Amino acid sequence: MDYAQQDMAPCASSSRPFDGRVAIVTGAASGIGRATVELLRHRGAKIVAVSLGEDVMSLAAPDVVPLVADVAQEASAAVAVDVALSHFGRLDILVNNAGIIINKTVSDMSLDDWNRVMAVNATGAFLFSREAMRPMTTAGTGAIVNVGSYACFQAFPTIAAYAASKGALAQLTRALALEAIPHGIRVNAVGSGDAVTNITNHIHQDGPRFLAEHGQKAPIGRAAQPAEIAEVIAFLASDQASYIVGSVLMADGGMSITVS
């Protein structure tokens, strides 16, 4: 038996590797989610773009169906999967990207704050993954990409809820990867560093500027642009990542490898 040739994914590269494929992207209206919608679409995917605010409606196009929904609500995932199947006939990719941060010390944090961060960042990914797995399991193929953070592994004061939620997301990634891979579904995560987005706009007058400055602490000396993280998401969702299962792939400019 030629073991070198077993089960090898096709290595053909194409500028539209997602032609014929359908993705759900959560948190699609802004930042990393929006960049991911643009990139996957550019590479051929049809997309259900899920986000909390009406601003997601601006993404409407023949190949993008926007959906206003809260990922933390149990019904949202079933609606999103139904939209994918009814509009586009299949579901190949789920990107669990929706996320929020509330910067407070544990002493100052209310139970509502804690529960909301966990509900959006961790429970939302569980709910959407559970629902997306149904058609993916029937098809015997699929890719789920969770958007994590260096906070999957590291912490600093005031991010207890966020770090706990991203730690939970990393462990969800690993445990679900083991359950999903026998069905041909790969589950992975990207560990994003500071990216210039709107996620801290409720805390800072100029949130993107704050993140750009905070990112200068990374060994690379700058924050990421959302498109740089979208590239990693697209890679993990693609056949090029055919042997990557249960990884949290760090794209953080070296933030997670330094002790300084």
Contact 84, 133 (CB under 8 A): no
Interacting positions 142-161 with ligand NAD (CB under 6 A): 147, 149
Give the integer Cα–Cα distance in Å for 221 and 194.
Answer: 11
Q: Is 185 helix (H, G, I), strand (E, B) or coil?
A: strand
Taking CB under 6 A as the criterion, the residue among 59, 72, 132, 168 binding ligand NAD is: 72
Asked if 27 touches ligand NAD (CB under 6 A), the answer is yes
Closest approach, Cβ 9 to ligand NAD, in A, equals 27
Closest approach, Cβ 76 to ligand NAD, in A, equals 7
Closest approach, Cβ 256 to ligand NAD, in A, equals 11
Taking CB under 6 A as the criterion, the residue among 23, 26, 65, 83 binding ligand NAD is: 26
Label each residue of 106-172 as H, E or C.
CCCCCHHHHHHHHHHHHHHHHHHHHHHHHHHHHHCCEEEEEEEEHHHCCCCCCCHHHHHHHHHHHHH
Asked if 99 touches ligand NAD (CB under 6 A), the answer is yes
Supply the residues annotated as catalytic: 162
Give the integer Cα–Cα distance in Å for 234 and 175.
Answer: 22
Taking CB under 6 A as the criterion, the residue among 23, 25, 84, 98 binding ligand NAD is: 98
Q: What is the dihedral of CA 50, 83, 125, 118, to 10 degrees?
A: 60
Taking CB under 6 A as the criterion, the residue among 22, 51, 187, 247 binding ligand NAD is: 51
Give the integer Cα–Cα distance in Å for 193 and 254.
Answer: 8
Both ends of the chain: CA-CA distance in Å? 50
Asked if 64 touches ligand NAD (CB under 6 A), the answer is no
Smaller CB separation from ligand NAD, 120 or 177: 120
The residue range among 29-37, 137-145, 177-185, 241-249 that interacts with ligand NAD, by the rule CB under 6 A, is 29-37
